[in-house]
Amino acid sequence: MANLREIVSVIRKVVEPLAVNLRLIVSRAVLDAVDDSKGIQVVKLSLLAGEVKEVERMQNFGFTSFPPVDSEGVTVFVGGDREHGICLALDHREKRLKNLTVGQSALYDESGAKVWLKNDGSIDIQASNDTKIQLKNNGTIDLVTQSKVNVLSPMVDLGSGTKEPVLNGQTFQTGYNTHVHTAFGVPTTPVTIPSPPTDLSLAVQAAKT
């Protein structure tokens, strides 16, 4: 009959490969390079000492990013097979947008541009280095398709410290074209050169307030 030592030795031989695979399932990783040209993004990662792997990086549908080199992340290997890895997350200690409070979310890039959803319900959109923020709707502007961008808000300020109101274009144009003055008690004729329809923009329109 086998003694206890022999039994333990057999158990170790059986369990050890499983234990090794378990230890190899999850690894921390440092990003070396990114290939963003494929259907699934491929990243080159440094893992264990001297171990470099190219693996697919899974991202949530509707959101994608190109992380900077030296980002840190987590990679899992199915069944502990180091030839079948999937990168689950990458973050960068220096580039990450910091000092959010509980419940806040943000999109950001390494230049400092961000879309910040704040606790008070406001959304802070900032470009970096005073560059532009572009809202783009491709399409030909005409009276049939009405390709446009709608801004639905009770108040829109254009520029810092804006105080001047905006003219209601058609209302002002009608008033300008039909207004008359009184000279010596006699009304004058309407303006000699009325404002033509081309004075009004088809690309920018605002509701009356």
Percent of the chain past pLDDT 70, that is, above it, reads 89
Cβ atoms of 88 and 58 within 8 Å: the answer is yes
- Domains in the chain, start-ordered, CATH in brackets? 4-91 (2.40.50.230), 150-209 (no CATH)
Tokens of residue 145, six digits: 């398709």
- What pLDDT, in 10s, does the model give residues 63-108? 999 999 999 999 999 888 888 999 999 999 999 999 999 999 999 9
Beta bridge partners of 75: 27, 87
Cβ atoms of 80 and 20 within 8 Å: the answer is yes
Residue 175 reports pLDDT greater than 60: yes
Percent of the chain past pLDDT 90, that is, above it, reads 42
Cβ atoms of 83 and 24 within 8 Å: the answer is no
Cβ atoms of 56 and 40 within 8 Å: the answer is yes
Tell me, yes or no, if the pTM score tops 0.85. Answer: no
Looking only at Cα atoms, what is the longest distance across the chain? 132
Q: Of 8-12, 117-121, 135-139, 186-190, where does the model show the most confidence? A: 117-121
Q: Residue 22 and residue 11: Cα distance in Å, rounded? A: 16
Q: How many CA atoms lie less than 13 Å away from 85 in the CB half-sphere?
A: 29
Neighbours of 46 (CB within 10 A): 16
- What pLDDT, in 10s, does the model give residues 97-134? 999 999 999 999 999 999 999 999 999 999 988 788 88
162 versus 174: the higher-pLDDT residue is 174
Cβ atoms of 97 and 55 within 8 Å: the answer is no
